Structure 1
Amino acid sequence: MPLRRRFTPEARTDVHRCLVCEIREHSVCNGIDDTELAILAQASKRLTLPPGTAMIEEGTPALSFFNVTSGTVKLFKSLPDGRRQITGFADVGHFLGLTTAKTYSFGAETVDTVQVCRFLRPQLETLLTDYPQFERRLLDEVTDELAEAQEQMLLLGRKTARERVASFLLNRMIPPAPSGQGKTEGCLVSLPMTRVDIADYLGLTIETVSRTISALRREQTITGTDNHGIRVLSVTRLRDLASGQDSR
């Protein structure tokens, strides 16, 4: 059982931040109960990062780990000649930087303004030792990342352009609010990244992504919004497209 400690007024403010955090129950921090929030608050530092910030550089020492509390981060692998492939997008609740190696195996850059809670390696290792539930939540995160990697291999290896775009829009769909009573039609799609990034992630050209989105609009599967976003009009059809069950 970890020892309880006495904390300064500043630390108590950090405890309140953790207590009211809206994403805590959906992140690895859920592995620490309310009575031990002071430990969690002391182990992390809240950071706000502007768009285009390099959070993680591939090949550099893995000294920090990040819990995303707001915004979107793009993940990528690089080649020595400068070429790179976007391998994923991390949103609210994702934990970045996990590795047993001494260096990061990927790079990460903010897409928009991002807020994170940063853990240094010694602090994270202490949490893993003292709180088995926290360790289990991290294991869940790693398992989810493996499943996402397998889906991405299927997408790039076997899916058509329409299936890739449909799969991406489904994955980026914002869940309805509790007042929506489970309705999914009309849900917005979160697309803070550029079309260039989307095309890179899907292994397509920008022109193919644009043509496919335009076709889905004509077919009334999706529609545009006033702020250049996307709203899903038929989740059922989008799911059929993503799984290769649509014959159009």
Structure 2
Amino acid sequence: MAVFDVNHVGSLAPAVPREGGAASPCSACSIRNLTICAPLNDVEQAQMAAIVTNVEIEAGTPLFDEGEPADHVFNVTDGTLRIYKLLPDGRRQVTGFLFAGDFLGLANDENYAYSAEAVTPCKLCRFPRQKLEHLMERFPKVEQRLLNIASNELAAAQEQMLLLGRKTAREKIASFLLLLARRARQRGRSESPVSVPMSRTDIGDFLGLTTETVSRTFTQLKQSSLIRLLPNNEVELAGREELEDIAGGF
């Protein structure tokens, strides 16, 4: 069986303990169908819940840093995370944004291959790597679920390569907004307005654009009545079809 290494946390907020005898929080999880627990029945899920620790971190707090020992993996249950790598010259490349239901921490060796940091206050389920591996031996469908997650990560990486290599700034921003809308739909949320909690700098570091170019392109799309910038970091996709045309069928 393939081994999936899992990520170690450096400085985390204290784990939130469950009271003895309390019902498993998994039973009331609103995004259970998106997590690695999705294929498990109630009995199996109770065994999974026994190894889980609930973690909460504030916006701007690192979950783990690239190069740290990979001792845990995580499921995001609320909030938004950015994952990134630092280039040798100190520049940052954001490689993705993670939302409720997303899984992170898979590693090919003993250390994290990237860093993860909270964009907004986040809640996560934390799984010890070794204990999860033991459960995977008993529940092969969890391993299959992780293989599916790894496959989705590869597809996302291919999409980002297209964004970085072949699209103009206008096409990149349109594609990014449609990506967020698609992710919202997968979670049963409204596609418009869509929540954009990350900063313009975060978006630029993800799309390979300067902060100024990101801000200017948002303004241009707003002036063209294709989007409306709303309070609370929300963006209404007023010209959805036009945005899809700009994005090139993203």
Q: TM-score, normalised by structure 1?
A: 0.87
Take 1:95 and 1:179, find their aligned partners in 2: how far apart are those partners? 19
| 1:239 pairs with 2:227 | no
Shift of 1:227: 2.9
| 206-215 or 77-86: bigger deviation | 77-86
Shift of 1:10: 3.8
The match for 2:207 is 202
Take 2:95 and 2:188, find their aligned partners in 1: how far apart are those partners? 31
Unaligned runs of 5+ in 1: 1-8
| 1:73 pairs with 2:81 | yes
Q: How many residues align?
A: 231
Equivalent of residue 134 in structure 2, options 99, 118, 126: 126
The match for 1:4 is none
Shift of 1:37: 2.1
Q: Which has the higher helix share?
A: 1
Shift of 1:81: 4.7
Shift of 1:60: 1.3
The match for 2:64 is 56
Structure 1 residues 86 and 14: alpha-carbon distance in aligned structure 2, compared to 1, 3 A threshold: farther
Equivalent of residue 154 in structure 2, options 135, 146, 157: 146
Q: Which amino acid aligns with 1:83?
A: R
Q: Is the Cα–Cα contact under 8 Å of residues 195 and 233 in structure 2 kept in the other structure?
A: no
Take 1:213 and 1:72, find their aligned partners in 2: how far apart are those partners? 21
Runs ≥4 in structure 1, deviation > 6 angstroms? 176-180
Equivalent of residue 197 in structure 2, options 180, 192, 197: 192
Equivalent of residue 220 in structure 2, options 215, 218, 226: 215
Take 2:186 and 2:127, find their aligned partners in 1: how far apart are those partners? 31
The match for 1:88 is 96
Q: Is the Cα–Cα contact under 8 Å of residues 31 and 131 in structure 1 kept in the other structure?
A: no
The match for 1:175 is 185
Residue 116 of structure 1 aligns to a residue whose secondary structure is strand
Residue 29 of structure 1 aligns to a residue whose secondary structure is coil
The match for 1:105 is 113
Q: TM-score, normalised by structure 2?
A: 0.86
Unaligned runs of 5+ in 2: 1-17
Take 1:76 and 1:179, find their aligned partners in 2: how far apart are those partners? 26
Q: Alignment RMSD, CA only?
A: 2.1
| 169-178 or 60-69: bigger deviation | 169-178
Q: Is the Cα–Cα contact under 8 Å of residues 221 and 227 in structure 2 kept in the other structure?
A: yes
Q: Is the Cα–Cα contact under 8 Å of residues 111 and 193 in structure 1 kept in the other structure?
A: yes
Structure 1 residues 178 and 70: alpha-carbon distance in aligned structure 2, compared to 1, 3 A threshold: closer
Q: Is the Cα–Cα contact under 8 Å of residues 49 and 113 in structure 1 kept in the other structure?
A: yes
Give the greater-gyration-radius structure (CA): 1
Q: Which amino acid aligns with 2:67?
A: G
